[in-house]
């Protein structure tokens, strides 16, 4: 049997020549600690495996925000833009520009502990339309295609249009045309952007 001695008892034991045995950790406590370490390692390994299985998309591809509020929440928002005009008329239909903004390109990943952002080079001019997207026969373009316009559909009513930028201030130099493959661009609606005051 091991003897557990207080400090005064240790002094008396030394004075009397009594042998003092070290307070060795009990084997069952060591087994519990070892099991806890194994569980922690297994949890970390499962987390990495989950990340690998769920994060199957390309890590170098930017994740476009659905709205300006989402860009703000992600921390990728850089500035708000004012579209001019705010309405475009095509084939008797009026298209309303809902919001426009510039965000830094970033790749969003879903991790087992939450969402993470990986900043990428460049920026994107983003804008959405109120209520619906443009007809399938129409598309946005620039005169020289130096800023190709792409669209990301989140649903039948939520579409984000984007144009790649090198700098946020480049958004003010973009002029977009809403056109079709079958019509002359000279009469097509034009769209410009400026920094919102």
CA 93 to chain centre: 34
* Phi, psi at 5, each rounded to 5°: -115, 140
Kindly give the residue spans of alpha helices, DSSP state H, lying in 55-125.
68-74
Structure tokens at 31: 């087994």
> Tens place of pLDDT for every residue, the chain, 197 residues?
444 445 555 455 445 555 545 555 567 787 888 788 888 887 766 655 555 544 445 555 778 899 999 999 999 999 999 999 999 887 778 889 999 999 999 988 766 666 778 888 999 999 998 866 677 788 888 866 666 788 888 766 678 999 999 999 999 888 898 887 766 656 778 899 998 87
Strand 190-195 versus strand 77-84 pairing type: antiparallel
Reference 62, options 25, 104, 20, 100; nearest CA is 104
Element (H, E) at 12: helix 7-16
Give the predicted TM-score (pTM) of the model: 0.66
The whole-number pLDDT of residue 1 equals 44
């Amino acid at each position: 049997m091991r003897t557990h001695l207080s400090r005064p008892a240790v002094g008396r034991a030394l004075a009397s020549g009594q042998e003092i045995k070290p307070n060795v950790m009990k084997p069952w406590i060591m087994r519990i600690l070892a099991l806890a370490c194994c569980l922690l390692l297994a949890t970390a390994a499962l987390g990495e495996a989950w990340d690998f299985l769920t994060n199957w998309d390309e890590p170098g591809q930017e994740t476009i925000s659905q709205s300006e509020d989402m860009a703000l929440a992600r921390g990728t928002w850089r500035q708000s833009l004012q579209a001019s005009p705010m309405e475009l008329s095509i084939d008797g239909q009026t298209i309303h520009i809902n919001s426009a903004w510039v965000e830094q390109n970033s790749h969003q990943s879903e991790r087992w502990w939450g969402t993470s952002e990986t900043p990428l080079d460049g920026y994107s001019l983003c804008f959405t339309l109120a209520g619906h997207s443009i007809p399938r026969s129409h598309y946005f373009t620039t005169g020289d295609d130096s800023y190709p316009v792409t669209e990301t559909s989140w649903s039948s009513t939520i579409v984000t249009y984007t144009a790649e930028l090198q700098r946020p201030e480049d958004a003010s130099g973009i002029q977009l045309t809403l056109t079709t493959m079958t019509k002359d661009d000279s009469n097509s609606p034009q769209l410009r952007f400026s920094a919102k005051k």
